[in-house]
Structures are given as structure tokens and as C-alpha cells.
Amino acid sequence: MKQEELQKLQKLAAHIRFDAIQAIKNVGQGHIGGSLSISDLLAVLYGKQMKFNADDPNWELRDRLVLSKGHAGPALYSALAISGFFDEEKLSTLNKGGTSLPSHPDHLRTPGVDATTGSLGQGTSQAAGIATGLKLRESKNFVYLIVGEGELNEGQCWEAFQYIASNKLDNLIVIIDDNKKQLDGWTDDVIKQWDIASKMRSFGFNTIQVKGDNLESIDDGIEYLKTTKDTANCMVLDSVKGAGVPLFENMENNHSVKFNDDELNSQTDEALAKLQSIYEG
Amino acid sequence: MFKLDERRENGKELRNVVVDSLMDLMNKNDKVIALDADLAGASNFNRIKSAHGKSFIDVGISEANMIGVSAGLSLTGYTPYVHTFAPFVARRALDQVYMSGAYSKNTINIYGSDPGFNAGFNGGTHTSYEDVAIMRSIPETIVCDPADAVQMEWIIKEFSNLGQGIHYVRGNRKSVRNVYAENSSFEIGKGNLLYEGSDLLIIATGQLVSEAIDVHDELSKIGISSDVVDMFTIKPLDTDLLLERAKNKRGIVTIENHNIIGGLGSAVSEVMAEKMVGVPLLRVGNEDYFGQVGTPDYLQQAYGLTSKQILSKVKKHFSF
């Protein structure tokens, strides 16, 4: 990747983080940790890899993204707003009555959202169905499915993975955001996941692992999986919950953060200023 | 417009009606897709696989995944029809039907087979006396229980014209007695007044419409005249017809192959209470029992749903 392009993606990732944190802080609480852990991934997808038309969100020839870990909606909304699907100012309406930006993505309310998710596990099968439909239509477009590693507790994920692998849906890239924490704590303490990549391989997926904060590795990984045909493809993102912002990385319970004390609010403002200087710099 | 088939003989197997109707649709519309969850041998969807291989998907034993995949197909412009046994879609895949389907306004047409006593040798684990209650509590759904093969064919084909949403039809896989003459047509949300009477309003749904007609015939022998309404669309319920036919009646009877909690009997009593229809009501159906194993005939008897048993319940309840 050229230095210039890398810098563009770095700025985009910082911008997504800034907007997501600000939107969540504005409403007082929300899913910070899981939004930040996929910000770099979203920067690569919306900044480079995905085909879309912000002026025509339902463009037939677009790639699709299914955010099965729907609680990371604020990060997706930020990526969509920055990409031009709607005004960034709208992000301040997150979770407010009558908003078009509910905590979990809703394809009927938000331009650019391809599937409604939130009840964990269900995005996996929807993405599998979208990939099947695109194949039947002989479309060349891709479907990107983002699943949380905690979400893998849901049996439906494994039902969908069997289906995807059995049908060799090579137009669908399964991305597992392995940020190692779920609501109740460390994933290994709640329901141990063992080696996720090995599990996916044993389910028939061509599987790679990349660092969740390495934009170039993510981009190379997606490029490789897009060109690997006649097999199911998976990328396990070795990520950090709260990634990119030390304040939240180091917070023990960072799944959903409440902004109800002055110290946290001022620390968050400092973090926001830092992110802003990156994307505006 | 419908006409009655006075012969009341057994018709074509309902599963074959579904399969043939789907293949008719597929011949005209390449967006129609059939899905099954490893029951294609039981639903005869295997015939679709042979004749329209590209339009059939077997997801294996994964009903939740089947509903999600159907939602994804709907999102890419397809019209999915799914089959599994009634309990495995209404109970097991409920949250998928709700969120990936109804809440997302995706189109999923669902055939839940072998409801109520039709589960037969599959027994209590495979029995659903609650699917109507579950499906009708989800916003914006359409819930149908056809009386016979003619109506099943019409419903399956009509579902393809309804646009987005969850459209649920339950029905035996095997044959049931004919009520309607070939080429009868119906209207979603409109009950069919099959016989007119002055004493009693009998409202039935599904294959028990035939039993309702038997009860009507037997009552007329003792001088009791009754309406028979086939309420094949349980949601939306035809409240206009209900209120119109309830006028000046001595009683109302609902008959269903379902728990009296949550199904037709509940739907009718909700309207009667709200509209202050001061007429005594008898709800005939499963009286809040689990299913069990046996032949369908044995089970129909065990739950008191033969025409003879229904007749005696009616006579006792209204002191005829």
C-alpha cells in the first residue's frame, strides 16, 4: 500500500473512532469497546475495499456489509456518515427518540445499512442468504460479515458457518473480531473459545489471522481472500477491545461505557482531541 | 368466489399441493425459492429439487439458519418459501422469524406442517398446538389455516402476491377432506360463510372446517340451524363478518386444531369482549394439554376434536 493511501486510512480510522465516541458520549452511554475494535477494519472496508454509492445506497452493484455484532452500530454509522451516506451531524441523534440511528443497525432506517442485526448470531445467516442470492444472480459483488468472538457463543453462527462452507460461498468474507472480551468479562473466562482460527479451518474455511490494528495487513488479507475461490473464506481479526484509545483499552469493563463522571468525561475529551488532531492533521 | 364440494371426499395430499403450487410459481417467476431443513423427503420438496434444482436449498437440520438465509434471499430480491414441521419454525426459530424476518420487513413465506394432532407418530416433541398463538403475536404477520387442498393451493399462490412480510400457513402433509370445489378463490382476511343459520354461529379453521360442517348437519336434524364460517385467515381476523353473523345468535362456537389459548378461540373472544357481543361462547380445541404419540385419528379423539365429540360438547354447553 502506498504511504499516501495508508495515511488516508489512518485518518479515516481516527475519524470513525472520534465520531463513534462522540456520539456515544453525547447520548451518555453505549458500546465503546466493540465499536473501537472494528474501526480499523471499517476504515479499510469503506476507505478502500468496498464498492458502494453513497448517493444511491441501494445501488444494485454494491458490496454488502452485515454487522452481525450489531451493538457496534455507532462505528458503522460513523463510517457511513464519513463516507457520505448521511450528514455527520446526524450522529448526535444516536439512540434518541425518533432517530434513524438506533443502537443496533436497522436497514429500514439508515441509508447504507444492508441488514438489520442486534439479536446476536442472526447476521451470519442473513449474510449467507445475501451471498446465496448474489450468486444466484451471478453478481460479482462481495458480502462482508463481521462477527464478534463472544457472539460465537451463539449456536446459529455455527449453523451458518456450516452452510457457508458447505456451499463454498467464496463471495462472502467472514471476519471475526476477536477482541477477547464480552459483556461479562474476558471471553476465555465466560465461554472459552480455544483457537478460533483452528475451529474455522475445521469447519472448512480458508482462514487467515491478522492484527486488528494493522491497516495494511487487514487490506492484504481481504485482497487475498477476495481472490481465493471455490472455498469459504475467513479472517480472524486479532484485535483489542477499545482499540486505538488507551483510556478505553485499559478500562476493565469497556463493553458498554457510561459517561456519568467528570473525570471520565474530561479524559474522553482529551482522547477525542487527540483523535481529531490525527484525522485533521 | 368459492363453491362447496358437496362430495366431501379426501383431496390431494397437502404437501403435494404445496409442491405443485410452488413449481407452478417457479415456472413463471425465477425469484421464487424453496427451502427445507432436511425434511425435503417428508415435505416432498425433493420433487422441487429434481425439477427446479437451482430454486431449491436444503440447509440441513438448522431451522434458525434457514429463516436467516431466507431473510438474506429476500434482501437480494428473492421470494423464499420455507418448510419445516410447525413447531420447528414457530418455537425453535421464533427469534429469527421475528428479527431477521418480520422486524426487518423481509419476505418469508412459511409452511409449518403437521400442526396439532397431525404430528401422529412423531409425538409430543413434534406437536404444535401453539404455532398460531406465536405467529399471530408477531406484528404485521398473516396467519392462515386452510380447510382443504383447494384453499391451500390458493394460499400458497396468493402469498407470492402479498409483498413484504411473514406469511404463515399451517397444514397437514397428508390429505384432508375437501370443502371447496376446484378453482374456488378466496380473499386474505375474509372469512367464508359456508352455511347460513339463525341459532348458532360456528367458526372453524383448518381441516376442522369439515367437522364443523358435520356438526352443522347433525344440529339441523334436531332443529338447530347454524352458520358455518371458515375463518381460514386467523390474522387478520374478519371481525366484520364475526360481528355481523353474531347478531341474534344463541351461541358462538370456535373450532380449531390448536390450543384454545392464543388461537382462533382467543382471537374471536378478544373481539367479542371488546365489541360487547353478549353471546355465550364455546371454544373447542386443545384445552391446554401437551401433545402425545398415536395415530392422527387416535389423537383427534384424544383431544375431543371429532365431529361427534364436538357435537356433544355443543349440545351440552348450549343445552340443546
Listed residue (A197, A114, A108) closest to A149, CA to CA: A197
Q: How far is A269 from chain B (nearest CA, A)?
A: 36
- What DSSP character marks residue A137? T
Listed residue (B131, B195, B204, B196) closest to B169, CA to CA: B131
Q: Structural domain tally of chain A?
A: 1
The minimal CB distance from B72 to the residues A106, A108, A132 is found for A132
Phi, psi of A240, rounded to the nearest 5 degrees: -125, 130
Decide if B62 and A162 are in contact by the 8 Å CB cutoff: yes
Decide if A114 and B77 are in contact by the 8 Å CB cutoff: no
B69 contacts in A (CB within 8 Å)?
125-126, 128-129, 132, 160, 163
Q: Which fold has domain B14-171?
A: Rossmann fold (3.40.50)
Q: Residue B178: what pLDDT? A: 98
Q: Give the amino acid at B296.
A: P
Residues 39-58 on A with a CB inside 8 Å of B are none
How, if at all, do strands A257-258 and A172-178 pair? unpaired
- pTM for this structure? 0.97
Phi, psi of B143, rounded to the nearest 5 degrees: -125, 120
Per the prediction, chain A carries an average pLDDT of: 98
A127 at interface of B, judged by CB pairs closer than 8 A: yes
Decide if B99 and A125 are in contact by the 8 Å CB cutoff: no
- Return the domain boundaries, chain B: 14-171, 192-318
User: Which residue is closest to A108 within chain B, CA to CA?
Assistant: B104
A172 contacts in B (CB within 8 Å)?
none
pLDDT in tens, A89-147: 999 999 999 999 999 999 999 999 999 999 999 999 999 999 999 999 999 999 999 99
What average pLDDT score do residues A198-227 get?
98
Q: Residue B267: what pLDDT? A: 98
Domain that holds residue A111: 3-280
Contact A53, A62 (CB under 8 A): yes
User: Which residue is closest to A60 within chain B, CA to CA?
Assistant: B76
Q: What are the pLDDT tens digits along chain B (320 aa)?
A: 999 999 999 999 999 999 999 999 999 999 999 999 999 999 999 999 999 999 999 999 999 999 999 999 999 999 999 999 999 999 999 999 999 999 999 999 999 999 999 999 999 999 999 999 999 999 999 999 999 999 999 999 999 999 999 999 999 999 999 999 999 999 999 999 999 999 999 999 999 999 999 999 999 999 999 999 999 999 999 999 999 999 999 999 999 999 999 999 999 999 999 999 999 999 999 999 999 999 999 999 999 999 999 999 999 999 99
pLDDT in tens, A242-270: 999 999 999 999 999 999 999 999 999 99
A136 contacts in B (CB within 8 Å)?
33, 54, 76, 78
**Same fold flag, B14-171 and B192-318:** yes
How, if at all, do strands A185-186 and A181-182 pair? antiparallel
Decide if A134 and B96 are in contact by the 8 Å CB cutoff: no
Decide if A129 and B60 are in contact by the 8 Å CB cutoff: no
Q: Residue A185: what pLDDT? A: 95
Decide if A129 and B104 are in contact by the 8 Å CB cutoff: no
Question: What is the grid cell recorded at B108?
Answer: 418469508
A281 confidence band (pLDDT: 50, 70, 90): confident
CA distances from A23 to A15, A267, B190, B273 (A): 12, 16, 48, 47
Residues 72-131 on B with a CB inside 8 Å of A are 72-78, 95-96, 99-100, 103-105
Query: Who's near B298: CB < 8 A, 6+ residues apart?
Result: none
In terms of Cβ atoms closer than 10 Å to its own Cβ (0-12, 13-18, 19+), residue A100 is: middle
The minimal CB distance from B99 to the residues A119, A124, A133 is found for A119
B57 contacts in A (CB within 8 Å)?
132
Q: Residue B235: what pLDDT? A: 98
CB pairs under 8 A between A and B: 100
A166 contacts in B (CB within 8 Å)?
60
The minimal CB distance from B103 to the residues A116, A160, A166 is found for A116
3-state SS assignment for residue B280? coil
Name residue B60's beta-bridge partners: none
A108 contacts in B (CB within 8 Å)?
104-105
Contact A141, A62 (CB under 8 A): yes
Task: Kindly report the number of other CB atoms within 10 A of residue B281's CB atom.
Answer: 18
Query: Who's near A160: CB < 8 A, 6+ residues apart?
Result: A121, A124, A125, A127, A128, B65, B68, B69
Decide if A125 and B96 are in contact by the 8 Å CB cutoff: yes
The minimal CB distance from A128 to the residues B72, B74, B105 is found for B72
Residue in A65, A119, A157, A159 to test binding to B, most B beta-carbons within 10 Å: A159
3-state SS assignment for residue B87? helix
Instruction: Choose the CATH number for B192-318 among 3.40.50.920, 3.90.480.10, 1.10.645.10, 3.60.15.10.
Output: 3.40.50.920
Q: Residue A18: what pLDDT? A: 98
3-state SS assignment for residue A106? coil
A224 confidence band (pLDDT: 50, 70, 90): very high
The CATH number of the domain holding residue A136 is 3.40.50.970
Cα–Cα distance, A102 to A7 (Å, whole number): 31
